[in-house]
Amino acid sequence: MKIVVCVKQVPDTAEADVKLGSDGRGIEMEGLPLQINESDNYALEESLLIKEDRDGEVTVITLGPESADEVLRMSMAKGADEAVRLADPALEGGDAWAVALALAKAIGGMEYDLVLTGCMASDDGMTQVGVTLAEMLGVPHATYVTEMEIGDGSVTVGRELEGGLVERVEMSLPAVVTIQTGINEPRYASIMGIAKAAKREIHTKSAADLCLDAGEAGEAGSRTKLLKLDYPPAGEGAEILDGTPSEASAKLANVLKEKGFA
């Protein structure tokens, strides 16, 4: 079974003081650690489990700058067989449509039975690339998948719905599946795997290799345009009540009375 996994490098902002960039359309990246998109990591692990169970072959693919090679190498260190990076300034700055088009052009030229992506990009909250990719490839798809079973020419998945419900869907292969976090337990790469992956080749493809004209790719080929990012509106600051417990209690009682709560 041949599996393609789409991965993305994103900044880790969990412990960072996020600041807007000078153009107001992105964040200041300097000093931010980079990592694989969370749900993509689960998609990668699911592909490796299928590979081990069905003697498969896994190819990881990303669209991004040279720094994204680190995500691809870590994927190979965990067990992926091949890595492809779509590397061209003309491909940069694209929306979900433009990214999906570039991926579809690349994947469409491969042999594949299954394409896995994460269900959501943690940097921009988009959930569109996987489903758009499936439509461009002309294959069935399922989203927010938390269970998956490969059959003979088909895949049966459990989709997470609201209220804790799970929808079971059977699709013929090839298909695209977007993976929800929690479907498995992503593995760590071994030291030996990391050392071997450092020497592996990463194949690169340009817009020309994908037969994409300048007007179709990246920001120029996007159907939507990011105008600006804004900080959330600041609320009123908290009032600190100084003094002993009895004094603070008296002040609190007065505040509540003034606000109409007493």
Write the secondary structure of the chain as one string of H (helix), E (strand) and C (coil).
CEEEEECCEEECCCCCCCCECCCCCCECCCCCCEEECHHHHHHHHHHHHHHHHHCCEEEEEEECCHHHHHHHHHHHHHCCCEEEEECCHHHCCCCHHHHHHHHHHHHCCCCCCEEEEECCCCCCCCCCHHHHHHHHHCCCEEEEEEEEEECCCEEEEEEECHHHCEEEEEEECCEEEEECCCCCCCCCCCHHHHHHHCCCCCEEECCCCCCCCCCCCCCCCCCCCCCCCCCCCCCCCCCCCCCCHHHHHHHHHHHHHHCCCC
CA distance 11 to 17: 12
- Read off the pTM: 0.85
Does residue 103 contact residue 212 with C-beta atoms inside 8 Å? no
Does residue 60 contact residue 204 with C-beta atoms inside 8 Å? no
Let me know if residue 210 belongs to a domain. Answer: no
CA distances from 137 to 86, 113, 255, 262 (A): 17, 12, 62, 64
CA distance 85 to 64: 7
CA distance 248 to 145: 52
Which CATH number belongs to the domain containing residue 45 in this structure?
A: 3.40.50.620
Residue 41 contacts by C-beta under 8 Å, 6 or more apart in sequence? 7, 118, 186
Let me know if residue 37 belongs to a domain. Answer: yes
**pLDDT of amino acid 240:** 84
**pLDDT of amino acid 12:** 87
Let me know if residue 216 belongs to a domain. Answer: no
**pLDDT of amino acid 3:** 98
Q: What is the dihedral of CA 133, 137, 138, 144, to 10 degrees?
A: -30
**pLDDT of amino acid 262:** 63
Let me know if residue 241 belongs to a domain. Answer: no
Let me know if residue 244 belongs to a domain. Answer: no
User: Closest by alpha carbon to 177, among 2, 5, 1?
Assistant: 5
Let me know if residue 262 belongs to a domain. Answer: no
> Domain containing 181: what range?
2-205
User: Which single residue is written with the structure tokens 């013929």?
Assistant: 172
Longest dimension (CA), the chain: 75
Let me know if residue 190 belongs to a domain. Answer: yes
Q: Tell me the pLDDT of the chain (262 aa) as tens digits.
A: 999 999 999 998 877 778 888 888 888 888 788 999 999 999 999 999 999 999 899 999 999 999 999 999 999 999 999 999 999 999 999 999 999 999 999 999 999 999 999 999 988 888 999 999 999 999 999 999 999 999 999 999 999 998 889 999 999 999 999 999 999 999 999 999 999 999 999 999 999 999 999 889 999 999 999 888 888 887 776 778 889 999 999 999 988 888 888 6
Does residue 184 contact residue 145 with C-beta atoms inside 8 Å? no
**pLDDT of amino acid 167:** 96
Let me know if residue 154 belongs to a domain. Answer: yes
Work out how many domains the chain is built from and give that number.
1
**pLDDT of amino acid 211:** 95
CA distance 148 to 143: 11
